Structure 1
């Protein structure tokens, strides 16, 4: 278990609501849909209602400082079967990247790969006390588009399993392009945090509001006991 999964959850019962895709930019086609992830009758473009309100606030704050810029949504709600699919996909992709054959992996090699994947991907737990963040409808992966509609350079792609994904990886960089990537990451972080979100410690693109990870981060900052507002959502929702 990860440290944040020990925090209690008192679900507020807020419904999942559709993200207005005409208001935000969206990565299309949806990256996990394109891989064959089993969404069934559910949509990745849904969030808890209060989380969506905060996301709207984050984009408004961004545009006050950077007119014409938009948040570009990569992924939001993720059912458990999709989480399982993507964990397995990430495991296989990492093995291939390292030149290893899945069928011939030794037990220690499998353990090492699982550990590397678990740094970025939450375990697809069915235990209601330990839901993956995205399965709560309170987490979102996103990046930025500039006023011309071009993707802003963030230094590394979403879902990259490396230290380059850590939010402050380029904080002390000396190369101009790396310094710019760090500034862009800070722009995204400031917009989201100002609206109440917390950033994943190892993923520049992942933010949440109200789940266990959010509660754990807020608790660490305030030194006060915090309870998560959202648990796993399993209700069927219309396709996106």
Structure 2
């Protein structure tokens, strides 16, 4: 039985160079739209926030869908998962990375560029479309999510989604020796999310309480898997789908 309120144990920060060296053996699972799911809620955050090229739907690999349903089934009655982002177009990844880097540079104009890059990568993965090292969200295996109650009220998680401060580290509230009531609430809500997602096979990005992976290189590196099973994926426009279907008839 999953203990949803077990403490979140220390986890290493990702070594992106090491993760991107993990081989990919693509399994071919299709992307699936999540918006019509009844087992969890979907709120496409970047589209709602007006980020250029963000889609009005969240897509993920088909096994991700099933594992999200499993994680949702472990939560207490009345608590629901809220999917904020999943498959992400490269243009959105580039926009997020460049925007955060520029804001950090403006905030600290004398900072070393290498340090700005390191801090940017804490909260936004390096943009990449390379077949051997795609950005996690480009694979359809990375999920950003939070929790809400049965009426749709978002639970207190101790920081905003995509907040670029130390409070966003998953274990931030675990490290407070004597948390106050609000800090205990955020800690326990993070524990619920972390333990449910871990029990469903996901790994967590240590600097982002909302980010979980399954099947991509970050997941494989974190859990010591011999290879990832998801490479770059694409939500195809209707025209390309028709072409693929007609090509299939010729074979």
Q: TM-score, normalised to structure 2's length?
A: 0.80
Q: Helix, strand or coil for the counterpart of 1:71?
A: strand
Instruction: Give the CA deviation at 1:119.
Output: 1.6
Which stretches in structure 2 are left out of the alignment for 5+ residues?
A: 1-15, 239-251
Report what 1:152 is aligned to: 155
Instruction: Give the CA deviation at 1:92.
Output: 2.8
Report what 1:61 is aligned to: 74
Report what 1:230 is aligned to: 230
CA RMSD of aligned residues (A): 2.0
Q: Is the 8 A contact 1:44 1:78 kept in 2?
A: no
Report what 1:80 is aligned to: 90
Report what 1:222 is aligned to: none
Q: Structure 2 vs 1, CA of residues 11 and 176 (structure 1 numbering), >3 Å: closer, same or farther?
A: same
- Distance in 1 between residues matched to 2:94 and 2:161, nearest whole Å: 18
Report what 2:100 is aligned to: 90
- For these two proteins, the number of residue pairs brought into alignment is 220
Which stretches in structure 1 are left out of the alignment for 5+ residues?
A: 220-224
Verify: 1:50 aligned to 2:53, yes or no: no
Instruction: Give the CA deviation at 1:32.
Output: 4.5
1:3-32 deviation line (CA, Å, top 9, x unaligned): 21111000101110110345222336x335
Q: Is the 8 A contact 1:142 1:206 kept in 2?
A: yes
Q: Structure 2 vs 1, CA of residues 44 and 2 (structure 1 numbering), >3 Å: closer, same or farther?
A: farther
Report what 1:2 is aligned to: 17
Verify: 1:176 aligned to 2:181, yes or no: yes
Instruction: Give the CA deviation at 1:110.
Output: 3.7
- Distance in 2 between residues matched to 1:144 and 1:70, nearest whole Å: 6
